[in-house]
Amino acid sequence: MNKLGIIIKREYLTRVKKKSFLIITFLGPIFFVALMIAPTLLALNSDKMESKKAIAVLDETGWFYKKFDNTEANTFVYHNPEENLDSLKKLVFERVYDAILYIPGTSLNIPVNAKLFSNKQISMTLSSYIENTMKKEVEHKKLLASGIDPDIVKSATTNINVSTIRMDSDDKEETRYTELESIIGILLAFIIYFSIFLFSSQVLRSVIVEKTNRIVEVIISSVKPFELMMGKIIGNAMVGLTQFVAWIILTLAIYFVASGIILGPEMMSPTGTVMSQEISKLTETTARQDIMLEAINMVQSINFSAILWSFLFYFLFGFLLYAALFAAIGGMVDNETDSTQFTTVLTIPLILAIACSPAMMENPESGLTLWLSMIPFTSPIAMMIRIPFGIPYWQLGVSVTILILTFVLTTWLAAKIYRTGILMYGKKPTLKEIWKWLKY
């Protein structure tokens, strides 16, 4: 094994064998699975979890008698409007009712306010159901009073759906699903952002540890400083990739196992996923069939392999670029506290790219987006936001080329700072000195 290989192996193994790495590797997928399963689980269990609610209705206007539907979740009991509100309130504390819906009479005779009294938190679903029912009823009454048949208005109500379709010069037309694309983009951008931070800091720490332990001079009497630096960077990049692969595999594994156990076998459709079960439920009505088709179209419209490959590329080279800079900083300073001011300056472009992400999602074709996706210090993040929306190949090519060239240049410069810096103990160099190191 050559020396670079020996260094990579040590960097990789010391990081991977650490407890913190194992914990993050295993907790990550559990967290992801929780995010995936929780909504389904909550939706399935919400009915079971909430006991049936009894609601007393004290309607001084008299407009809403028998207008609220009794369901599995709620029962509405209509009281005489003459009754005293306070005596009804007592019934809540005696647990006869869960809530009192009080609709006071108004001088205008058009009810616009209602109060829901309860000694517990009222669910959003219930209060919005009440709001909607009252709104419909008042509108209905108003229409009648104006001499308009509410049925005519109902038949005139139409749902409009605007599909975004992008045309290519070769007559291919594609329907775009902006929301989904935005979500995928921002999610990947955040993963890149955090990974670059996390793994570059590991490189920084690794450099500083060798300096503070005073072992670095022994090592560079055996290998070139450049090999040592590259060994660290490559080793940590491999740790990062290992983590991603482990996350993907574990997430899928835990997801299937957990959805089998938690959601029960009856929820598992022949294909074994809850999602398809949900979809097959949706197909029960023809109206919902459209939604399902839409969902399938949505998923198919996303070019996952392009996203995955570009994600891996931009993670790798974004990391390599920043890791080289962090390694140079590690060489310059004596402890992590001193490194903060330098790393803060370096990470401004990353933070800027994240801060601009809403604007980029709003308009993926804007000049801002274009520039941020070309500048190598922001492109790993900006491209993650752009790529799900589709991107001209030449732009991708230019961005990739700039990133690779900058990486080569930066590593060359970083190595010069690193090789001088690692042998300087006990003093913080000035910028002038660092400039000199570049020329040694």
Partner 1 sequence: MVNLIEINNVSKTYGNYKALNNISIKVPKQSIYGLLGPNGAGKTTLIRMLNQITAPDEGEIIFNGEKLNRDHISDIGYLPEERGLYKAMKVGEQAIYLAQLKGVSKKEAEKRLKQWFHKFGITDWWNKKVEELSKGMQQKIQFIVTVIHNPQLLIFDEPFSGFDPINVNLLKKEILELRDKGATIIFSTHNMASVEELCDNIMLINKGEKILEGSVYQVKQDFKDNNFEVVLRQQTTDNGQHPLNLPEGFSIISEKNNINGETTFIISADKNINPNILINHLTEFGTIVSYHELLPSINDIFINKVNS
Residues lying near partner 1 in the complex (CB under 8 A): 1, 3, 6-7, 10, 14, 209-210, 213-215, 217-223, 225, 423, 425, 436, 440
Q: Name which of 3 and 141 has its Cβ closer to partner 1.
A: 3
- Residue 426 Cβ, how far from partner 1 at the closest point, in Å? 10
- Residue 202 Cβ, how far from partner 1 at the closest point, in Å? 14
Q: Name which of 172 and 214 has its Cβ closer to partner 1.
A: 214
- Residue 238 Cβ, how far from partner 1 at the closest point, in Å? 17
Q: Name which of 43 and 215 has its Cβ closer to partner 1.
A: 215
Tokens of residue 171, six digits: 């007559």
Q: Name which of 54 and 223 has its Cβ closer to partner 1.
A: 223
Q: Name which of 219 and 398 has its Cβ closer to partner 1.
A: 219
Q: Name which of 19 and 95 has its Cβ closer to partner 1.
A: 19
- Residue 242 Cβ, how far from partner 1 at the closest point, in Å? 20
Tokens of residue 424, six digits: 């300087």
- Residue 28 Cβ, how far from partner 1 at the closest point, in Å? 24
- Residue 429 Cβ, how far from partner 1 at the closest point, in Å? 12
Q: Name which of 93 and 440 has its Cβ closer to partner 1.
A: 440
Q: Name which of 18 and 90 has its Cβ closer to partner 1.
A: 18
Cα separation, 346 vs 348, whole angstroms: 6
The three-state DSSP-derived secondary structure of the chain is CCHHHHHHHHHHHHHHCCHHHHHHHHHHHHHHHHHHHHHHHHHHHHHHHCCCEEEEEEECCCCCCCCCCCCCCEEEEEECCCCCHHHHHHHHHCCCCCEEEEECCCCCCCCCCCEEEECCCCCHHHHHHHHHHHHHHHHHHHHHHCCCCHHHHHHHCCCCCCCEEEECCCCCEEEECHHHHHHHHHHHHHHHHHHHHHHHHHHHHHHHHHHHCCCHHHHHCCCCHHHHHHHHHHHHHHHHHHHHHHHHHHHHHHHHHHHHHHCCHHHCCCCCCHHHHHHHHHCCCHHHHHHHHHHHHHHHHCCHHHHHHHHHHHHHHHHHHHHHHHHHHHHHCCCHHHHHHHHHHHHHHHHHHHHCHHHHHHCCCCHHHHHHHHCCCCHHHHHHHHHHHCCCHHHHHHHHHHHHHHHHHHHHHHHHHHHHHCCCCCCCCCHHHHHHHHHC
Q: Name which of 163 and 221 has its Cβ closer to partner 1.
A: 221
- Residue 98 Cβ, how far from partner 1 at the closest point, in Å? 59
